[in-house]
Amino acid sequence: MKFVFIADFFVEHILGGGELNNEECIEILISKKHSVEKIQSHAVTPAFINKNKNSNFIIANFINLRSECIQALLETKYIIYEHDHKYLETRNPAAYENFKAPKEDIINLDFYKNAKAVLCQSQFHMDIIRKNTDLSNLINLSGNIWSVSALEMIEEISDKPKEPKCSIMDSAISHKNTRDAVNLCIAKNMEYDLIQKPVYSEFLAALGTNEKFVFLPQTPETLSRVAVEARMMNMSLITNNMVGASKEPWFKLKGKELIDLVYEMRERIPEKVVEVFE
């Protein structure tokens, strides 16, 4: 199959969780003898879409995709690989009671409805989308894709002895809510380390040093790669009701059992991407 993968950014621009997942998906599709062309959303034009009209379009983050391009894509075969909530003006369901937005705040609805499928990260993620859109083309992927090298590193960390302390992600992003995680540790008299390492391998090594991970996000995490990484590294998780991964049946696993399951996700998720176009 021939795919065109559209996203605001790729790993060569930003090392975010969505970008890491997308890159692995692309690499696995290529390894299965599919053709994949990557293009940033701001660079897409109606002429480009028309030129590739017989391709299968995978639309990830598309904030920078122009309205005329969205209109042109309606005439093609495409899926939306959803990483957050781009059907909402605010992109934040937590701004509304019970995560239900008023109709005037719903956007891009025709784009979502016309997709062959909207791929969601977790049941929690899918339920919030359905509550706001009534879409019938939603699929719960129930997971994410990690690189083999990342999983090997995570398995190595998982086997190491841990300190009786808590790890807290020291994030400048306000909705990651570092402040309340720190306050909880102080109130419960739990020792903690603030983890802030720009290099991914160093971040994982520091995070996995301790027994517990405290994470209290203020907005719904469609999955939360870092929560899954903590569990794979044999850590317990102290969190709230905003973490999609924590509601998946497999989240009770940790360490090697969970790592083995995530290896299976590397096969299962790209297969589902191909399947929805067949």
Residue 80, exposed/middle/buried by CB under 10 A (0-12, 13-18, 19+)? Answer: buried
Phi, psi dihedrals of residue 119, rounded to the nearest 5°? -85, 125
> Domain of 157?
148-263
Answer yes or no: do 136 and 204 share one domain: no
Q: Give the neighbor-by-neighbor strand order of the sheet with 56-59.
A: 35-40, 2-7, 56-59, 77-81, 118-120, 138-140
Residue 161 pLDDT = 96
Phi, psi dihedrals of residue 175, rounded to the nearest 5°? -75, -10
CA 102, 106, 112, 117 torsion-angle sign: negative
Write out pLDDT tens, residues 121-144. Answer: 999 999 999 999 999 999 999 999
Contact 68, 44 (CB under 8 A): no
Kindly tell me if the per-residue pLDDT of 197 is higher than 90. Answer: no
Kindly tell me if the per-residue pLDDT of 49 is higher than 90. Answer: yes
* 152 CB-near residues (< 8 Å, 6+ apart): none
Answer yes or no: do 244 and 271 share one domain: no
Answer yes or no: do 19 and 141 share one domain: yes
Answer yes or no: do 124 and 152 share one domain: no
Answer yes or no: do 100 and 180 share one domain: no
Q: What is the mean pLDDT of residues 231-248?
A: 97
With H, G, I as helix, E, B as strand and everything else as coil, classify residue 255: coil
CATH of the domain at 167: 3.40.1010
Answer yes or no: do 98 and 207 share one domain: no
In the chain, % of residues over pLDDT 70: 100
Answer yes or no: do 159 and 140 share one domain: no
Residue 266 pLDDT = 98
* 126 CB-near residues (< 8 Å, 6+ apart): 120, 138, 139, 140
CA-nearest of 121, 116, 144 to 58 is: 116
Answer yes or no: do 8 and 141 share one domain: yes
Answer yes or no: do 161 and 233 share one domain: yes
Contact 244, 124 (CB under 8 A): yes
Answer yes or no: do 138 and 162 share one domain: no
Over the chain, what is the mean pLDDT? 97
Q: Which residue has the higher pLDDT, 90 or 4?
A: 4
Write out pLDDT tens, residues 59-109. Answer: 999 999 999 999 999 999 999 999 999 999 999 999 999 999 999 999 999
CA 166 and chain centroid, separation: 24
CATH of the domain at 122: 3.40.50.2000
Contact 126, 106 (CB under 8 A): no
Answer yes or no: do 87 and 178 share one domain: no
Q: How far is CA 39 from CA 36, 43, 68, 117, in A?
A: 10, 7, 16, 20
The structural domain count of the chain equals: 2
Answer yes or no: do 255 and 137 share one domain: no
Phi, psi dihedrals of residue 239, rounded to the nearest 5°? -145, -170
